[in-house]
């Protein structure tokens, strides 16, 4: 199993010197790039999540870049390895990466749990995390499109075990 983490790929999109970061600076202000050439992610997020139009501009810029990079990772993996590939992406459908998948698994959780996890993972304030959550569709959007749904309201080790079990079941079905 090869896991592609779309959040990690998104950080690559914002890396020093990337064309994606340069385009974002043109839209959101060159001060989103600090003196060392690094993206000030907090400042970019403040501007990008300020309203729906700006969020759409962020997505229009980053999603094609992220999708192309994920396609590159898939190509490299398929040349060198066998087995399935998992794309872990919070905005799978919005980025068009769902078209790269044979099956989609949605891991859903109540808003309060998602809020807490986002704040912990990204070191955000409650307000910053809420702005990001409000920029995304609700759980029904994902559950209506997914092939499989996992309850993400349990502690993370339980959720991870459920995902691993489902992946194992899918892999054993393919081997038959």
Cite the DSSP H helix spans in 49-155: 52-80, 92-95, 111-122, 126-134, 139-143
Confidence at residue 176, expressed as pLDDT on a 0 to 100 scale: 56
Under 8 Å between Cβ of 157 and 164: no
Confidence at residue 175, expressed as pLDDT on a 0 to 100 scale: 60
Indicate the angle between helix axes 6-13 and 52-80, nearest 10 degrees. 110
Confidence at residue 159, expressed as pLDDT on a 0 to 100 scale: 94
What are the residues whose beta carbons fall under 8 Å from the beta carbon of 175, sequence distance 6 or more? Answer: none
Confidence at residue 1, expressed as pLDDT on a 0 to 100 scale: 83
Confidence at residue 171, expressed as pLDDT on a 0 to 100 scale: 84
Query: Model-level pTM?
Result: 0.85
CATH code of the domain made up of 1-83:
3.40.50.300
Q: What is the pLDDT along the chain (176 residues), one digit of tens a residue?
A: 899 999 999 999 999 999 999 999 999 999 999 999 999 999 999 999 999 999 999 999 999 999 999 999 999 999 998 888 999 998 999 999 999 999 999 999 999 999 999 999 989 999 999 988 988 888 899 999 999 999 999 998 999 999 999 999 988 877 65
Q: With 0-12 CB in 10 A as exposed, 13-18 as middle and 19+ as buried, what is 117?
A: middle
Report CA-CA distances (Å) from 34 to 15, 124, 145: 12, 19, 40
Confidence at residue 73, expressed as pLDDT on a 0 to 100 scale: 96
Around Cβ 104, how many Cβ atoms within 10 Å? 17
């Amino acid at each position: 199993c090869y896991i592609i983490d779309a959040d990690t790929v998104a950080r690559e999109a914002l890396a020093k010197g990337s064309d994606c970061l340069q385009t974002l600076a043109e839209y959101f202000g060159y001060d989103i790039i600090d003196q060392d050439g690094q993206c000030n992610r907090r400042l970019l997020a403040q501007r990008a999540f300020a309203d729906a139009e700006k969020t759409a501009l962020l997505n229009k810029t980053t999603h094609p870049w992220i999708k192309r990079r994920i396609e590159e990772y898939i190509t490299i993996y398929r040349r060198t390895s066998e087995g399935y590939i998992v794309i872990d992406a919070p905005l799978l459908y919005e980025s068009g990466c769902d078209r790269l998948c044979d099956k989609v698994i949605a891991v859903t959780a109540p808003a309060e749990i998602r809020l807490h996890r986002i704040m912990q993972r990204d070191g955000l304030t409650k307000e910053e995390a809420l702005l990001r959550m409000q920029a995304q569709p609700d759980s029904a959007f994902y559950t209506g499109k997914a092939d499989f749904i996992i309850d993400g309201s349990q502690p993370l080790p339980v959720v991870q075990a459920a995902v691993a079990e489902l992946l194992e079941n899918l892999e054993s079905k393919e081997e038959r």
